[in-house]
Structure 1
Amino acid sequence: MHSKRTLPSTTHLVLIPSYNSGAKVYETVAQARVHWNPVWVVVDGSTDGTAAVLQDMAARDAGLRVIVLPKNQGKGAAVLYGLDQAAQQGYTHVLCMDSDGQHPANLIEAFMHCSQATPAAMVLGVPVFDASAPALRVWGRKISNWWANLETLWAGIGDSLYGFRVYPVDPLRSVMRGQRWMRRFDFDPEAAVRLCWRGVPPINLPAPVKYLQAHEGGVSHFNYRRDNLLLTWMHIRLMVGFVLRLPMLLMRALGRRSSLGK
């Protein structure tokens, strides 16, 4: 495996949480390595045998690190573990991407360069859907996006659910360590909202998303009932936080409008 980037970044890394993604994770990791160095994979208690193969890949590639967690804890928990490890090694930003092949590895460099130019911001992917996108999922995310923008007084979250993003490490760790949620499917939308509350501005960049079919190696752990209930409970919590923070958010929104008017 050879990366176009022979010199590793000392500030930005790619972080890929993985849980029973099947063989597609090998392709995802290989493509990520073509476009960035270093790449870390956090195997979240997978039982499909992928951990051993990924560790073998890492043994042959100095730009790849594989962390294996003993049991499944959820996407957010896996990301948080990676964030803690990244902070210990002095990294300031991570680009999170899914392991199932839905996210565009060829855009890693563009997102990283945007983050390097604006390190105080989070760089959020805004999905560009093709015909493979299930209509129910597309409409569902529109609802979640509306709530996320209400909860931040339209601070600029282009998409609340798309997981292809660059986060500043310290603010995200602080947000996650400050409460017990954001450990599973609720991680992506809650991270965007709570980081906005902390004053981390969003920058939105378009990125394609492809929903792979089973014959293409696609694996989905999304459960409509369980995960939609989780998102509903998340937005209830966030609305409570929104009301408590409303004076601060109003002042910040007025400040944005004032700066745009100059």
Structure 2
Amino acid sequence: MVIPTYNEAANLGWIVARLRRAEPEVDVLVVDDNSPDGTGSLAEELAASDQHVHVLHRTEKNGLGAAYLEGFAWALAQGYDVIGEMDADGSHQPEELHRLLDALQAADLVIGSRYVAGGSVVNWPLSRQALSRAGNLYVRLLLGIGVRDATGGFRVFRRQTLEKVDLGSVESAGYVFQTDLATRTVRAGMVVAEVPIEFVERVRGSSKMSGTVASESLRLVTVWGLRERRQQLARAWRRTSGRRPARTRRPR
């Protein structure tokens, strides 16, 4: 499981311990963005005491998506066949990871979803829930994908999925990375499954979500959606213009 961190010293040891208890065979990669609160040093301590924990240090904070891309590249190079992602703040509960792993038997990407039957959100105000649901509806309508929680960040991928979606061409660095990869998986003709989870708002530390992050997500989803519509129109025009007019027989 790839866990990106920035100033998560209050949560990292706690969440890694829970993950290791819940899934003892699962390895952990902490990708730290040079956290000034010492998260990177704490990650090194965890790795020194547990061979299943690894650390990747980045020199600066330049986006959740960028951190995941480096983490995925490391995992692929190490030969892992299943690669997952989750937050460090406890919002994704390691005790539910088995649901995602079980569902991966019949899918290429599994998302722990807040918005399918059985999913829930704990300790979010109604305004934030409404914004999140509206954002996912916008994604479904504009990008034409059926994923209910395309912005969710609790996921597991097959190795072949990440290889097929061309990570080298990913243009999203922030939280919209989640939508980007879900969309790429659907477009590639692969199976995306969603399983219900209970999403719990963090109780320690501060959220990394901001107006800038939300604006980037809205802008890129709009760009992708308009691009897809143009491509659909172009394909339809080619099909129409490529038809030859029906031939009629002359009377003898």
Residue of structure 2 in register with 1:192 after alignment:
182
Match of 1:157 among 147, 169, 172: 147
Greater C-alpha radius of gyration? 2
Contact 2:122–2:199 under 8 Å retained in 1: no
Q: CA deviation at 1:222?
A: 1.1
Contact 2:108–2:161 under 8 Å retained in 1: no
Contact 1:121–1:202 under 8 Å retained in 2: yes
Matched position secondary structure for 1:103: coil
Contact 1:22–1:217 under 8 Å retained in 2: no
Q: TM-score with structure 1 length normalisation?
A: 0.80
Aligned counterparts, 1:99-248, within 5 A: 99-115=88-104, 117-118=105-106, 120-127=107-114, 128-153=119-144, 155-172=145-162, 174-179=165-170, 181-212=171-202, 216-223=203-210, 225-246=211-232
Could you list the runs of 5+ residues in structure 1 that have no partner in the other structure?
Answer: 1-13, 251-262
Matched AA of 1:162: G
Q: CA deviation at 1:159?
A: 0.5
Give the Cα–Cα distance (whole angstroms) in 2 for the partners of residues 233 and 169 of structure 1: 29
Indicate the percent of aligned positions where both proteins have the same amino acid. 24
Give the Cα–Cα distance (whole angstroms) in 2 for the partners of residues 152 and 190 of structure 1: 10
Q: CA RMSD in A?
A: 2.2
Question: 1:137–1:178: structure 2 CA closer, same or farther, 3 Å change rule?
Answer: same
Matched position secondary structure for 1:40: strand
Contact 1:156–1:202 under 8 Å retained in 2: no
Could you list the runs of 5+ residues in structure 2 that have no partner in the other structure?
Answer: 237-252
The ranges of structure 1 where at least 4 consecutive aligned residues each deviate by more than 6 angstroms after the TM superposition are 247-250
Matched AA of 1:59: A
Matched position secondary structure for 1:29: helix
Contact 1:91–1:169 under 8 Å retained in 2: yes
Residue of structure 1 in register with 2:52 after alignment:
63
Matched position secondary structure for 2:197: strand
Contact 1:33–1:64 under 8 Å retained in 2: no
Contact 1:18–1:46 under 8 Å retained in 2: yes
Contact 1:58–1:65 under 8 Å retained in 2: yes
